[in-house]
Amino acid sequence: MIVEFNLLLVILATVPLLFGAVQPFVFSFYVAAVFLVFLSLLWRKRIGSRELGKGAVWVLYCFLGWSLFLIVPLPENMLEFLSPFRSGLLGKTRELLGASAGWKSLAYLNTLSLSRWSLWLAAVLLGVMVKRASLDRRFLMRLVVVLLVLGSLEALYGLVQAMVPTTGVFGHTLYYLGDARGTYINRNHFAGMIEMTWPLVLAYLLSLSPWEETRKLKVKHLINSDRFNRQLLIAIFLVVMLLALVFSRSRAGITGGILGFIAFLGAMAFSGAGMRKGFWLGTGAAVVLLLIYGAQMGFDSVIERFMQIDEETGRLNLWRDAWLIIQQHPFGVGPGNYEIVEPVFQVNAQTTRLSIHTCPQRLPAAFG
């Protein structure tokens, strides 16, 4: 499994590099790579039904199953029952063209839906394979190192973008100037990557401490440890990641980071590991560094972002549009079809959206 595990590391390390692999010609390559690695593991019987059907993964399977149902062609009477609006549009189109009735899906554009569905399936399979591979401690350590290096480089690039607003993403300067976003176009995607990475880095940092001997994390054990220099370097990278998360100005990302830290504390308390002076001193030092460097860069823009009501972005109009779509399509418009249908139901016809924000209103509109 060494080859497959190394391929998983390559996939995880390179996915964010080209704008977060959001372009179809990029993510298609990664989808194919994930499928090939999965088929190889399945053929060699290195992954089985136990890994594929354990725990909450069935929720994802139900989601994928419903998404696939939205793409499947249905008879006209069934389509009329499930989506009267789409059935009516198809009926008027047939009258204009003089075409005969045929089976149609709930989704408006099947090719787009199938492409999006394949991407989600690949994401689920990737998660299953990484979980299986993480049972091998060597893979887990390599994964942590890869994510540590990747997160640190992304964070440093993001801080440069925050300090020099004209800095784009590989020359792309259309969106989110002045916000930390690394190699992602969307600052929220960048913030999501950071807030998923830093808890793992923090856990790795704590794992380097002599828990076995003391069961409690104390300052003298940290300083006297032969791993102290490595811990200090990782701690600095961790502060850089958190600083980049703050200056991404992503409200959901910052809020998620705070909630993630609270959840981390809860998990540590529940596990019985305990938190002593060394941990809290380290946390205090990290907060002080965040405040010092953040004050140098200026927290004004971050505070202003949280105080913003989003009048200029029309977020309320997006929710109104989504509600109109849901009313006419109670069972959804299909994966990836929200961007196609939304302009038809636009409340403010004078608004032109170059990029639809990844808000939660898209889920009920797309899937019912």
Distance CA 270, CA 332 (A): 40
Distance CA 304, CA 80 (A): 48
- Listed by start position, the domains of the chain span 1-71+106-133, 72-105, 136-308, 317-367
Assigned token pair, 152? 């640190």
CB 30 within 8 A of CB 21: yes
Burial class (CB in 10 A: 0-12, 13-18, 19+), 55: exposed
Q: Compute φ and ψ for 74, nearest 5 degrees.
A: -125, 155
For position 354, what pLDDT does the model report? 45
Q: Is 104 helix (H, G, I), strand (E, B) or coil?
A: strand
Q: Report which of 264, 141, 109 is spatially closest to residue 195, judged by C-alpha positions.
A: 264
Distance CA 165, CA 178 (A): 4
pLDDT tens string 350-368: 554 544 455 666 777 777 6
Q: What letter does residue 172 receive in the DSSP assignment?
A: B
% the chain with pLDDT above 70: 84
Neighbouring residues of 10: CB distance < 8 A, sequence distance ≥ 6:
none
Distance CA 7, CA 274 (A): 37
Over its length of 368 residues, how does the chain's per-residue pLDDT go in tens digits? Answer: 788 889 999 999 999 888 888 888 888 999 999 999 999 988 988 887 676 766 677 888 888 899 999 999 999 889 888 888 888 888 888 888 777 778 888 888 888 899 999 999 999 999 989 988 988 899 999 999 999 999 999 999 999 998 888 888 887 777 788 888 999 988 889 999 998 898 888 888 878 766 545 455 555 666 666 677 888 888 899 999 999 999 988 888 888 888 888 887 787 777 665 566 666 777 787 788 778 877 777 777 777 777 775 554 556 677 777 788 888 888 888 888 888 887 777 766 555 454 445 566 677 777 76
Determine the length of the chain.
Answer: 368
What is the model's pTM? 0.82
What b-and-e string marks burial along 231-242, b requiring 16 or more CB atoms within 10 Å of the CB? beebbebbbbbb
Distance CA 200, CA 363 (A): 28
- Please count the other Cβ atoms lying within 10 Å of the Cβ belonging to residue 311: 8
Q: Compute φ and ψ for 169, nearest 5 degrees.
A: -110, 95
For position 313, what pLDDT does the model report? 53
In this structure, which long-range contacts are made by residues 26-29, counting pairs with CB atoms below 8 Å and at least 24 apart in sequence? 27/119, 28/115
